[in-house]
Amino acid sequence: MGGLTVMRALKARLPNECFVYLGDTARLPYGTKSADTVTRYAVQASAALMRYDIKLLVVACNTASAAALPTLLQTLAPLPVVGVIEPGAEAAVAAAPDGPIAVIATEGTVKGGAYVRAIQAIAPHMPVVQQACPLFVALAEEGMRDGPIAELAAHHYLDPLLATMPRPRGLVLGCTHFPMLKDTIARIAGPDVALVDSAETTAATVEKILQERDLLHTGVMMQSRFLATDAPGRFAHLGEIFLGEPIDPGAVTLVDL
């Protein structure tokens, strides 16, 4: 579901493109699974999308980007494959060039250290602190983006993180679900902490690649397609919250990976 926040940014930046979105609703969440399992799932999902003659693949999940991107780049070459980690790291360093930078993400992304590596590849001496926030995924999917429960969960995760010294100047929303709780997170983090959402930076990266390869679609805007591995009706209902526009339940195809 969370990857729809990335699709939202892509649609805003590339309004004429045709998007095929696959939500692996049967096997979520990815954030608590092993890297090997996530990689296997990502390979299966990408194979399903390749049947639609795609020209570029966006891995719209931080956990899958961290675990599976090297494998996907190798197995799908020469198809361009874009993850959300590197664009997010670039945005974080730009937003808080003097650091420190804090990262909130799923357990899998935090344990893998992908954001730490990506940020320090750009700024080698940048201090990076991390915090897994697994409850945020469930809250986002239940539509509990604000209110006392979201507030308590945010304090639980963010208070110790923001108490580290020196205090973080940038906070990466290292899971595509987390932008749904952005207002609550921003309120607790305070105005002196820059929040970084990798979706817009990812969309800019995709646009650049399409331009460089002369792959931009300049014709009439085309209708998006949606695939789900379970409960297509629920996907359409919840997906509207993440995508920011209605999803026709009839436009969601049930697929078996």
Pick from 99, 173, 165: nearest CA to 136: 173
Cis status, amide bond into 78, omega within 30 of 0: yes
Q: What is the mean pLDDT of the chain?
A: 94
Which of the residues 84, 175, 228, 236 is marked catalytic? 175
Longest dimension (CA), the chain: 52
Return residue ranges of the chain for CATH 3.40.50.1860. Answer: 3-83+200-254, 85-198
Active site residue 61: yes
CATH 1.10.1280.10 for the 85-198 domain, yes or no: no
* pLDDT of res. 198: 87
165-177 per-position pLDDT tens digit: 899 999 999 999 9
Which of the residues 7, 61, 69, 172 is marked catalytic? 61
**Rounded-to-integer distance, Cα 110 and Cα 104, Å:** 8
Pick from 57, 54, 121: nearest CA to 88: 121
Active site residue 133: no
47-98 per-position pLDDT tens digit: 999 999 999 999 999 999 999 999 999 999 999 999 999 999 999 999 999 9
CATH 3.40.50.970 for the 3-83+200-254 domain, yes or no: no
